[in-house]
Amino acid sequence: MEPKKSESADLEKKRGLYFQIGMVTALACTLIAFEWKSYDKKDYNLGQLKLDDIPEEIIPITKQEEKPPPPPPPVAQVLNIVQDDVKLEEEAKVEDTEVTEETKIEVITKKEEVVDEPEIFTIVEDMPEFPGGGEKALLQYLGNNIKYPAIARENGITGTVYVTFEIDQNGKVKDAKILRGIGGGCDEEALRVVMNMPAWKPGKQRGKPVRVQYNLPVRFVLK
């Protein structure tokens, strides 16, 4: 017959409690082991280290030399070679002469001839006249000889070109110029026709032929 244990001595009922206490104790010991720090006990004497005994290292500063720019290329010089084979046909002779009181020096002065050009008139007693009938013959001449420029015709350029020219004592036409033009080749055509005019009957002042300045309008009209 097995003896019965008392209920107060039965530890089987408190096994869970003791297991929890053991787990908490083991966990606490593990944390303390990880947090534990150990230090080596050594004497560090900073007074033994003398900074004056350490040699100072001097780093040299290197300076790069700047190279000067290259000189410009020499400019080619053109030399004109003169040949000495050419001989002068005549050489000037210089004579050493002494000037005395008896020596006469003649100074030759040449008078410049001043040519007076005849005056140009704009209005005279007898005005110049175109050969063959005056103004009517002049208009007929212009109508028969003027050719309408192609550029002016294509661009529809019309108008009046004013030409001035001189009729000298012999009736010849000189120094024709454009006073006012319209372009398109009309100015050049008007000058061409005026310069090809035959000789006029010269104008006269007090019965003498004189130079007369004449202005002529040349009209260009498209039909």
Tens of pLDDT, residue by residue over 134-158, are 889 999 999 999 999 999 999 999 9
DSSP 1-41: -PPPPPGGG--GGGHHHHHHHHHHHHHHHHHHHHH------
3-class secondary-structure state, position 117: coil
- The angle formed by the CA atoms of residues 203, 207 and 209, to the nearest 5 degrees, is 40
Whether residue 206 is predicted with pLDDT greater than 80 in this model: the reply is: yes
Burial 162-195 (b: 16+ CB within 10 A, else e): bbebbbbeebebeebebeebbebbbbebbbebbe
pLDDT at 82: 44
In this prediction, residue 169 carries a pLDDT of 92
pLDDT score recorded for residue 34: 79
Domain residue ranges in the chain? 120-220
pLDDT at residue 68, as a whole number: 72
Question: Looking at 37-46, 128-137, 162-171, which range is the least confident one?
Answer: 37-46
Asked if the model's pLDDT at residue 105 lies above 60, the reply is no
Q: Residue 160's CB: how many other CB atoms inside 10 A?
A: 14
pLDDT-derived band at 69 (thresholds 50, 70, 90) equals confident
pTM over 0.95: no
| DSSP-H helix ranges across 93-145 | 135-145
Domain 120-220 in this protein, CATH class? alpha beta
